[in-house]
Amino acid sequence: MSNQNFPKTLALIPDGNRRWARKHRISMLKGYDLGIKKFILFSEWCMQYGIDNIAVWAFSTENFMRNEKETKTLFGLYKKVANDKPIIARLHSNKTRFRVIGNRKLLPPDLRRSLENLERETMKYKGRIINMLIGYGGKNDILHAVKAIAKNVKDTASIDEAIISKYLISNSIPDIDLVIRTSGEQRLSGFMPWQTEYSELYFSKKLWPSFTKKDLKAALTDYSNRQRRFGK
């Protein structure tokens, strides 16, 4: 496939890890672990299709309402991955920058340190970027911008879209061309409302750990056949 019509910025909502684990009668820990490994592959598949800016929703603000055991399990896995030398080596090999997007104060200190260490270690790369949304919520993102504007912008007449974008927690992420959500759920659940105004949406029935490169190709083919209108 020619990549001329492929998205430049792609977002992923990797839903269905827990359901996949129950379906295959394995632990939640193993299900999430496989889901994280699948994303590492997914990011490299995207690179092969010339997609160099990826945003993945790893943990929303609403996810904190889940039971403490599950939250600790997932945070423990994220910390393990952030310190995994082979994975870090793959980021360097692919010249990929890693960024954390979200309210970092919500994260356990040890996880926050590990993620920020990975950010610093890869910050020299400019071409490929993986944005990890963790402790992120769409309404909180906009609320953060409103509070920051109220504090820093005195001339309300000067407030425009550019200023609002500047004060978003997610201000480093450009408008999203394509959002892929797995597991059959057909909603965005507050995922980057500012950047997804005219995003193309693709919903896969596959539970995330079962998602394949063939499924990604199907999503990209579907996207390339669409005519984006942007309200025109």
How far is the CA of 223 from the CAs of 66, 180, 200, in angstroms?
Answer: 34, 10, 7
Q: How far apart are CA 96 and CA 49, in angstroms?
A: 15
The answer to whether 108 and 77 are in contact (CB under 8 A) is no
- Domains contained in the chain, CATH given: 9-137+176-224 (3.40.1180.10)
Is-catalytic flag, 17?
no
CA distances from 89 to 31, 63, 85 (A): 24, 30, 6
SS3 of residue 15 by DSSP: coil
pLDDT tens per residue across span 200-223 = 999 999 999 999 999 999 999 999
DSSP 8: S
How far, in Å, CA of 102 to CA of 57, rounded? Answer: 10
pLDDT tens, residue by residue, 173-196: 999 999 999 999 999 999 999 999
Token pair of 55 as six digits: 């945003």
Nearest to 170 by CA among 205, 138, 206: 138
Query: What mean pLDDT do residues 75-84 have?
Result: 96
177 tagged catalytic: no
Residue from 42, 47, 111 nearest 82 by CA: 111
Q: What is the structure's pLDDT at 123?
A: 97
Contact predicate 174/9, CB 8 Å: yes
pLDDT score at 229: 82
pLDDT at 131 over 70: yes
Mean pLDDT score, 66-77? 93
- Partnered with residue 133 across adjacent β-strands are 57, 101
pTM of the model: 0.94
The active-site residue out of 15, 52, 177, 215 is 15
| Amino acid 227: pLDDT | 85
Q: Which of 160, 162, 171, 180 is nearest to 223 (CA)?
A: 180
Whether 1 shows a pLDDT value over 70: the answer reads no
Mean model confidence pLDDT for the chain: 95
Model confidence at 73, in pLDDT bands (50, 70, 90)?
Answer: very high
Report which of 120, 60, 129 is spatially closest to residue 97, judged by C-alpha positions: 129
**Looking at 5, 17, 53, 63, which residue is catalytic?**
63
Residue 232 has pLDDT above 90, yes or no: no
Distance CA 163, CA 154 (A): 12
| Helix orientation angle between 68-82 and 28-48, rounded to the nearest 10 degrees | 40
